[in-house]
Amino acid sequence: MTRVLVSAEGQVDNIGDSVLRRGLLDALRPLGELVVGLRGSTPDYASGLGLHDSDEVVSSSGEWRSLVASQTRRGCGFAYNAGEAQLTRGWGVTYARLAPLLVLNRLRGGHAVHLGFGLRSEDRFWARVMRLSLAPCELVTWRDAASRDWVGTGTVAPDWAYAAGPAAPDGVAELPTSGRDVLAVSLRFDRPAPSAAWLKTVRAVADDRGLRIVAIAQVERDRPRAADLARLLDGDLVDWTGTAHADVEVQVRSVYRRSALVVSDRLHAVVMGHTEGAVPVGLGTDSVAKLDRTLSAVGVTGAAFVAGDDVAGDISRVHDLLERRAEVLGCADTAGSRLAAVRGRLLDLFAR
C-alpha cells in the first residue's frame, strides 16, 4: 500500500487549525497508509484531527525529515500542510529544499499534492520560488483566488474546514431556521478592541431579530476578548475550557447550531458557523481581507467588512445577509461538493 506523508501541524490553542486539517486528512486517507507529521503538537490538538488507529504519527522533527527523505527516494504520496502562512524567506527555502526530493519521488512513481493553502500577502520573489518549487506537484489548489494569482499556479478550492462539518442529509441550506435564537460573536485577541460603532451594530441586529448574544472563545488566546464582549454586549460567555480540541469543538458547534448568524473576524468561526447553518458575518475591527477572500472563494460576497461610522448602513448589510440566508447557506453546500470533486481527482491521480 502507498504511504502518504502529510504534515498536519497547527496552532495548539486554535480549534480552527485542527478542523481544517481534519478535512485534508480525511481526503488523503483513502489514498494509502497515512503518515502524519505532528512536530511540536499536543495530544489536545491532535484530538481534533480525527486520527484513525491505522494512521502513523511522527512527532520528532528529525524523524520526520529522515522519513520524507527516505520515502521520496522510493516513491510515496506526499501532501503539503494546509492552512495559511506569510510568504517569507523561511517558507520559500523550505519549499525549495523539498522540490528536488519531490522530483525524485515523481521519477520513482510517487505523487505530490499541495491543497487548500492560503497566503497572507504577496511577495513577488518568494512567490516565484514557490511556483517553481511546486512544479513536481500534480495537483495544486488554493483557498482563495489572491493566493493563486500571487503564486501563479493551481486552482481555487474551498478551505478544508468546509469538508469537516457535520453531514446535513438534505444540505446546509435546508437546515431549519426555527430554534436559532442566538447571535454568536467571536473576536481575535490581536486586533483593536471593538469600537462603539461595532458594538452598536451587533446589539442592534440582536435586538431587531430577537436574538440573545453568546460570546465564544474558540481560540484560547481570545479568552479575554470574549469575556469583554460578553460584558459589553450583555451576553453569555462560552469560555475556552482548556480541554481537548475535539471537546471544545463539540461545545462551540453546539452554539453555532443554535445561531442565526456568527459575527467574527476569526475565519474558522464564520466557516464553522456556516457549515452549521448560521449566516457568516465577517464584521471586523481591522482588516478582514482574509475573510473576504476565503468567503468569496465559496461564493459568499459582501459578508466581510470593517465596522465604520455608518452604523445604520452596517446594520442594513447584516440584515441583507440574513435575508439572503438560503443563498448564503447554499454556498456551504456548493463548497462541500467542490471539495468532494477534489477528493475524486485525488483518487484518480493515485490510481495511475
- What number is the average pLDDT over the span 342-347? 97
Q: Reply yes or no on whether the pLDDT at 1 is more than 80.
A: no
pLDDT band at 131 (very low <50, low <70, confident <90, very high): very high
Residues of the chain with CATH 3.40.50.2000: 172-333
Cell of 286: 481591522
- 241 pLDDT band, cuts 50/70/90, is confident
pLDDT, tens digit, 9 for 90 and up, residues 265-276 = 999 999 999 999
Express each pLDDT in 298-312 by its tens digit: 999 999 999 999 999
CATH of 3-157, one of 3.40.50, 1.10.3470, 2.60.40, 1.20.120: 3.40.50
Q: What is the pLDDT of residue 300?
A: 98
**According to CATH, what is the number of the domain 172-333?**
3.40.50.2000
Which cell goes with 308?
465604520
The overall pTM is greater than 0.85: yes
Question: What integer pLDDT is reported at residue 284 of this predicted model?
Answer: 97
Residues of the chain with pLDDT > 70, as a percent, come to 100
Per-residue pLDDT tens for 136-149?
999 999 999 999 99
